[in-house]
Amino acid sequence: MNEILQIGANALPELASFLLRPAISQVFVLTDANTHRLCYPLLAPYLPEQHTVLELPAGEEAKTLASCETVWSALTEHRADRFAVLVNLGGGVITDLGGFCAALYKRGIRFVQVPTTLLAQVDASVGGKTGVDFLGFKNQLGVFQEPAGVFIEPRFLQTLDPRQLKSGYAEIVKHSLIADAAAFEEQRRTGMFVDDWTATIEASVALKQGIVAQDPLEAGPRKLLNFGHTVGHALESYLLTQPGREILHGEAVAAGIICEAWLSVQRGLLSAAELDQVETFLFSVFEKVHFVSLETDAIAEYALQDKKNSGATINCTLLEGIGRGVYDQPVTLHDVAESLRYYHRL
């Protein structure tokens, strides 16, 4: 697990203390265009006077090997050695890509995550998964590499527009659905009407950490965290190929949760009443993702590239009741397409 996990007002002061360690030779800060403008000013007072900022374009489109080459080239040009530290300041794209770059540069330098979106704070920055997209498939290339620390400052959420905040909320809902029925009931009561996100982030991160601790390399129980992602990633990947129709990761996951909850009902694992609870709540927060019925087979094809698959078998995480996920549930391409048709009809 992480060497350091700090959530709340002490996060950035703790980061400042970490970066003063004598074993650190250089500090690099990886941002995108948005986080450089909106979030770097909040972080800057906690950084050593001597540091280097590396900026990438914003958006999922930048989560590529070409962007990694840009980062690796900059590190090389600045003669970064194995005692350098990369501070990843951003959402899931930056934390995933930055961790991947750090894990491979000179066979591995330390990196820390400073997540600035709700999605990254409760999910992408925690658990040691890194990666980039490849040939249109989400996170097709990546390694497991724990950060030296994760420093979560909820004030960064004030820089987000409501759509980005909702995207992260999908992962909070997912964590409760697979591991804590009482937490899901609490979400149904409070929703996103939260003044201070600190307690919600702490609870959601604790759920994820409890699962990751059992299975750091995703050989078993950690697969629970992929609930909503088999269909969700397929939908997200397909729409990324359609200019102007791209959706946020959390929006895809919310749709995927409904599809995979429906598949759970078809398997006799989840009741129709529980599916109705999930659907009603998610549609109270998220708008429906639009696609035409003729696209369902093409979208489903993307599930064949899911990293949880075994050969030609699509392995899905389903719900055995609210608060109880069950992993390694084989589904067919037809099942995935039917779940998308169900979602389309809603």
CA distance 305 to 138: 9
- Reply yes or no on whether the pLDDT at 336 is more than 90: yes
CA distance 252 to 138: 12
Cα 187 from Cα 123, distance rounded (Å): 17
Domain spans, the chain: 5-159, 166-345
Residue 308 has pLDDT above 90, yes or no: no
Decide: 148 and 85 in contact? Cβ < 8 Å.
yes
pTM: 0.91
Contact 54, 84 (CB under 8 A): no
> Can you tell me the mean pLDDT for 120-140?
91
First-residue to last-residue Cα distance in the chain: 40
The arithmetic mean of pLDDT across residues 77-86, rounded, is: 97
* CA atoms 327, 329, 333, 334: torsion sign: negative
Rounded Cα distance, 113 and 88, in Å: 5
CATH number for the region 166-345 comes to 1.20.1090.10
**Which band of pLDDT confidence, cut at 50, 70 and 90, is reported for residue 100?**
very high
* 226-269 residue pLDDT tens: 999 999 999 999 999 999 999 999 999 999 999 999 999 999 99
248-249-250 Cα angle (round to 5): 95
pLDDT tens by residue, 66-78: 999 999 999 999 9
- Given a cut of 80, whether residue 45 has pLDDT beyond it is yes
CA distances from 124 to 131, 218, 269, 325 (A): 10, 15, 28, 20
Q: Do domains 5-159 and 166-345 have the same CATH topology?
A: no
CATH class of 5-159: alpha beta
